[in-house]
């Protein structure tokens, strides 16, 4: 049967999602009523169940889909730039004055005021654990000037206001935060199913100027080959996160453009320190993984190997870090010194009569599964049996249902490492899935918010990284290189190292 994703989707959504009908019938054909709709496909879910940007990580989707905007945004060099704000001034270590743009309106026509911004940020603080720093802040409004006084000095306040959890909503004007948040973006969410699609229509009164498209639709297509087929057949206009194999095919097409974008998204290897308690085993695993082979051969360039949490192109990707680089013989020696030996000749080492088996969790995200399978084969060569435990989503990490696990994560979500380090290494960090506790790291993390000098921040960040490496708390396999296929009929689709910004008022379709 000929694959026709959009016809199936449109049939299913005929009554519920009338806006999506504008794109039915193939991306090269004129849309119904002459409307211009861009269809984007990707392998991940549309959201985790809600479009409320203040909840969990869903702000990423609100920004990607052009529904929400933040006071500041990251440029391609990962530097914070004004967006809804005009400028920021650091008056003293605990006081920031933010001047708002005077012409911003929400999609319901309401003017964005300092009072509404405060209401939105306060709601985020109460909703999202990662925004806990806002809870104790004191906000004041005077005209279009917002002043934020934090409980303690906060060097990265502007960076953290780039985080999509800080999307500014009209709280009073929003009746349904989960399904219809009222933001300031060029598009308005009209319908979505977290496992299927999100449908947007243009914001006809967008403060930033005329929106070129009539509508936009994001659809989940879980299989890499099906995703590429949908792009080639014209069922979608943009394919996110192509596999290396399908990207090669798209690159040869005269109808599409392949864009390769290095990202600050890494494949992070978590060790559950409450279950994988032997430091020798963790050390051997770090020595036993050949990251370069994974990036160059297995993923064919879709990943750049790294031992750091941060891109080498940034000041925080310190090449002087003393990492445990691949060395199979060293890995075997570490295990032997810890009392592991292959006494029965089956290739797996034992200790006290028990074979060394490690359970490795994996969920479907980018190339997690490919990497995990290759790691399993590599670690078997040094005597470790890896049992892969598949999961549909990453929700098994929080309760600790793993011994080690791969996690796909952006490490500089705000252009500064602090948020990532805080979330993954502080005792109560929202993403401290390793159960990592280091008094030395806790002390350095406490220093970072008070460190305004950039060179000193770099030094602190690298000391934190080195301590985590020395403790065998976690490792980093490499950075994702996003492969995006775009129809040549489409102009203005964005790709960036931060993974947030994809659409704007200038996105267009011939």
Chain-centroid distance, C-alpha 357: 31
**pLDDT value of residue 22:** 34
Beta strands per DSSP E along 34-150: 37-42, 72-74, 80-82, 85-92, 95-100, 138-142, 145-149
Nearest to 317 by CA among 450, 207, 479: 479
**pLDDT score, position 33:** 61
- How many structural domains is the chain composed of? 2
Q: Give the domain extent around 74.
A: 37-255+488-509
Residue 30 lies in a domain: no
One domain, residues 288 and 244: no
Here the CATH number for the domain that contains residue 175 is 3.40.190.10
Residue 289 and residue 509: Cα distance in Å, rounded?
44
Give the pLDDT score at 319.
83
CATH of the domain at 380: 3.10.105.10
Do residues 243 and 308 both lie within one domain? no
CA-CA distance, 431 to 263, in Å (whole number)?
20
Locus of tokens 């690298």: 462
Residues in Cβ contact with 328 at an 8 Å cutoff, skipping those fewer than 6 apart: 287, 288, 290, 381, 382
Containing 370, the helix (H) or strand (E) segment is: helix 368-380
The rounded distance, in Å, linking the Cα atoms of 150 and 157 is 9
In this structure, are 162 and 292 located in the same domain? no
Per the structure block, which two tokens stand in for 320? 């002087």
Low-confidence ranges of the chain (pLDDT < 50): 1-32
- Cα–Cα distance, 379 to 288 (Å, whole number): 6
Look at residue 465 in the predicted model and tell me its pLDDT: 95
Q: What share of the chain is helix, strand, coil (3-state, %, to 5)?
A: 30, 25, 45
453-460 contact pairs (CB < 8 A, 24+)? 454/315, 457/155, 457/416, 458/315, 458/316, 458/318
CA separation, residue 85 to residues 80, 108, 117, 412 (Å): 11, 19, 10, 21
Q: Are residues 219 and 86 in the same domain?
A: yes
Task: Output the CA–CA distances (angstroms, integers) from residue 259 to 39, 218, 312, 460, 466, in the order listed.
Answer: 17, 18, 20, 35, 34
CB–CB of 78/497 below 8 Å? yes
Same domain as 432, residue 396: yes
What would the two tokens of residue 26 be?
Answer: 């193939």
**Domain presence at residue 18:** no
**Is there a single domain that holds both residue 250 and residue 335?**
no
Q: Are 215 and 202 in contact (CB under 8 A)?
A: yes
pLDDT at 203: 98
Residue 205 pLDDT: 96
- Whether 505 and 425 map to the same domain: the answer is no
pTM for the model: 0.78
My answer on whether 109 and 179 are in the same domain is yes
Write out the DSSP string of 121-177: HHHHHHH-GGGGGGTT-EEEEETTEEEEE-SS--TTHHHHTTSGGG----TTT-SBT
At residue 45, the pLDDT reads: 79
Q: Is residue 88 part of a domain?
A: yes
- Asked if residue 288 lies in contact with residue 475, where contact means CB atoms within 8 angstroms, the answer is no
Give the Cα-Cα-Cα angle 309, 311, 312 (nearest 5 degrees): 115
Residue 73 domain-assigned? yes
Same structural domain, 231 and 343: no
Tell me the CA distances in angstroms from 127 to 69, 122, 131, 179, 292, one per residue in order: 18, 9, 8, 16, 40
Classify residue 14: in a domain, yes or no. Answer: no
**Does one domain contain both 119 and 140?**
yes
pLDDT on residue 14: 33
Nearest C-alpha neighbor of 341 from the set 327, 355, 328, 329? 355
Query: What is the C-alpha separation between 42 and 45, in angstroms, rounded?
Result: 8
Residue 32 lies in a domain: no
161 shares a domain with 123: yes
Give which of 59, 64, 46, 44 is closest to 367, Cα–Cα: 44
The counts of H helices and E strands in the chain are: 13, 21
Residue 11 located in a structural domain: no
Element (DSSP H or E) covering residue 335: helix 328-337
Same domain, 271 and 204: no
pLDDT for the residue numbered 16 = 33
Distance CA 46, CA 65 (A): 10
In a domain, 68, yes or no: yes
Strands (E) in 368-456, as ranges, are 385-391, 404-410
Token reading at 265? 């998204």
- The pLDDT assigned to 3 comes to 39
């Amino acid at each position: 049967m000929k694959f026709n994703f959009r016809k199936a989707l449109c049939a299913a959504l005929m009554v519920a999602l009338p806006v999506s009908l504008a794109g039915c019938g193939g991306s090269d054909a004129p849309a119904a009523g002459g409307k211009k709709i861009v269809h984007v496909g990707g392998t991940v879910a549309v959201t985790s169940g809600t479009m409320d940007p203040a909840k969990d990580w869903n702000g990423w989707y609100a920004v990607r889909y052009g529904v929400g905007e933040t006071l500041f945004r990251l440029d391609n060099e990962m530097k914070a730039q004004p967006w809804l704000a005009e400028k920021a001034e650091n008056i003293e270590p605990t006081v920031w004055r933010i001047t708002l743009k005077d012409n911003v309106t929400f999609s319901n026509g309401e003017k964005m005021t300092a009072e509404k911004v405060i209401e939105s940020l306060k709601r985020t603080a109460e909703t999202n654990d990662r925004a806990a720093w806002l809870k104790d802040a004191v906000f004041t409004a005077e005209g279009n000037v917002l002043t934020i006084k934090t409980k303690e000095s906060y060097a990265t306040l502007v960076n953290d206001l780039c985080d999509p959890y800080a999307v500014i909503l009209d709280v009073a004007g929003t009746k349904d935060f989960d399904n219809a948040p009222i933001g300031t973006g060029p598009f308005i969410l009209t319908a979505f199913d977290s496992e299927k699609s999100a449908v947007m229509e243009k914001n006809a009164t967008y403060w930033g100027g005329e929106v070129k498209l009539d509508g936009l639709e994001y659809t989940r297509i879980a299989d890499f080959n099906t995703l590429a087929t949908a792009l080639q057949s014209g069922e979608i206009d943009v394919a996110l996160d192509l596999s290396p194999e399908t990207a090669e095919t798209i690159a040869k097409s005269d109808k599409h453009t392949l864009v390769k974008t290095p990202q600050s998204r890494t494949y992070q290897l978590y060790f559950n320190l409450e279950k994988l308690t032997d430091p020798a085993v963790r050390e051997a695993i770090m020595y036993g993984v050949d990251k370069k082979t994974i990036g160059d051969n297995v993923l064919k360039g879709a990943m750049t190997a790294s031992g750091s949490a941060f891109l080498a192109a940034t000041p925080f990707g310190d090449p002087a870090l003393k990492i445990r680089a691949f060395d199979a013989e060293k890995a075997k020696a570490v295990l032997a010194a810890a009392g592991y030996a292959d006494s029965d000749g089956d290739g797996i080492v034992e200790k006290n009569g028990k074979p060394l088996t490690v359970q490795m969790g994996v969920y479907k995200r980018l190339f997690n599964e490919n990497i995990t399978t290759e790691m399993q084969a590599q670690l078997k060569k040094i005597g470790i049996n890896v049992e892969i435990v598949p999961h549909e989503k990453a929700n098994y990490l929080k309760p600790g249902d793993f011994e080690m696990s791969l996690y796909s994560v952006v490490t500089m979500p705000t252009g500064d490492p602090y948020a990532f380090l805080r979330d993954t290494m502080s005792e109560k960090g929202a993403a401290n899935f390793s159960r990592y506790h280091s008094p030395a790291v806790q002390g350095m993390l406490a220093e970072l918010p008070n460190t305004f000098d950039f060179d000193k921040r770099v030094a602190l960040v690298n000391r934190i990284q080195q301590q985590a490496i020395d403790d065998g708390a976690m490792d980093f396999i490499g950075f994702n290189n996003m492969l995006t296929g775009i129809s040549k009929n489409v102009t203005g689709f964005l790709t960036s190292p931060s993974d947030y910004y994809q659409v704007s008022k200038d996105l267009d379709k011939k």
